[in-house]
Chain A
């Protein structure tokens, strides 16, 4: 049995650009939900940017990451450029590692994504420390861990639209 998604015999349809945009906007919406009271809620935009830059490094790159980072900064009342810097670095890491990461089965893929997500938190953490804030505690780094655990689920759901057959078959909707 082959578990690796890259060597799987299944050939995916090309991704639709509007779906990437839609999923990123949905992640932005999820980030704006009042969930700060709970520890360990992952940074959805960071997760999605890493996902698409690993899956589609030609379409989602540092430009989009920068735009979404600045949007997060404005909404978050944080220093302008804090999220942008973190997301740009994550997008670069994701796209340059994408050929390697996709060779692994999903579990090992998630393990390789963890450092990228940790990098996002670490960059923001150090920027804030340099700007004079004090550390929010170790729970700040729980988010990436839950994000990593969500990676296989995320892969399944975000690739669903690409699993559809080209010729619509009434007997086989999905």
Chain B
């Protein structure tokens, strides 16, 4: 028996008890966050304290950048200006024709009775900073719930798809880049029309998975969004195939791609408006409901049969 003398100083619970309490609390947080995704409200509330600090931390970098811009020489600006003007003139012919074609397309679709394609529209946002975590490819942009951003909206820049909004906070939103390991984009190869899904690798590259070793894919093929997911509008450039490994011992080819958009750069991006959910025609809805009911009935009958057999 060991009798301990009463403590002279009040020191609260024993360290080991405190440790087990806090470890249990953190593990509980981890599990709930990873499995149930119900802590977004807590995250949003806490972000009200951390985002001002984060914003403050970005100020020196922004100041340096602004200072750098200030000292850009006039001649360089002039050169850039003339170059941009020339590029605009180059594009003007295509742009004018595109507008014309879009109107024509709409008319023809109306004639055919096909549902109109959605016009791409959205709002501009500035990239504030990238997440510090070396594991995740995420960026934070300066538009949030205040600007009616919802999670799931696609984000593009001038060259193609950048990523997708995954978390929305009151004043900022978090965008998962297409190079993130958990991000997948349904795509289509422009040259062949082959549909597939491109996955991020987490190291700045993307991979086309589950394509057979003899699939018609070449170096330099451009992938665009196929629009089958109902989230990304079809036709936006995503990536370019850079390297293909065809190993005969595997049934799938390993196809590596580089993103076309400046995914890892700091610049301005555009958040595209969410695509409206496609509504099934009345008849199809009824048919689907009928089939479901029938299949339920059928499974019920099968169960009865099985019971009888037993």
Contact = CB atoms under 8 A, between A and B. Distances in A.
Interface of A: 25, 28-34, 36, 58, 61-63, 65-66, 69-71, 74-82, 84-85, 88-89, 92, 95-96, 127-128, 131-134, 136, 140
Given A74-B47, A85-B26, A85-B30, 18 more contacts: A36-B131, A36-B132, A36-B134, A63-B22, A66-B22, A70-B29, A75-B47, A75-B132, A77-B167, A79-B30, A80-B39, A81-B25, A81-B29, A85-B27, A88-B19, A88-B23, A96-B15, A133-B181
B63 interface: no
Given A80-B29, A81-B33, A62 B133 contact: no
Interface string B111-142: 00000000000000000011111111010100
Contacts of B23: 85, 88-89
B262 interface: no
B227 interface: no
Nearest to B140: A77
Please report whether the interface of chain A is mostly helix, strand, loop or mixed according to DSSP: helix
A78 B30 contact: no
Given A32-B57, A85-B23, A128 B135 contact: yes
Contact of A74 (B11, B15, B46, B57): B46
B71 interface: no
Given A29-B57, A32-B57, A70-B46, A77 B26 contact: no
B130 A78 contact: no
Nearest to A131: B34
B49 interface: yes
Interface string B175-207: 000000110000000000000000000100000
Contacts of A66: 22, 25-26
Given A70-B46, A71-B46, A76-B131, A34 B30 contact: no
B133 A77 contact: yes
Contact of A75 (B15, B22, B29, B50): B50
Contacts of A33: 57, 60-61
Contact of A136 (B32, B34, B132, B134): B134
Given A95-B15, A96-B15, A131-B34, A32 B53 contact: yes
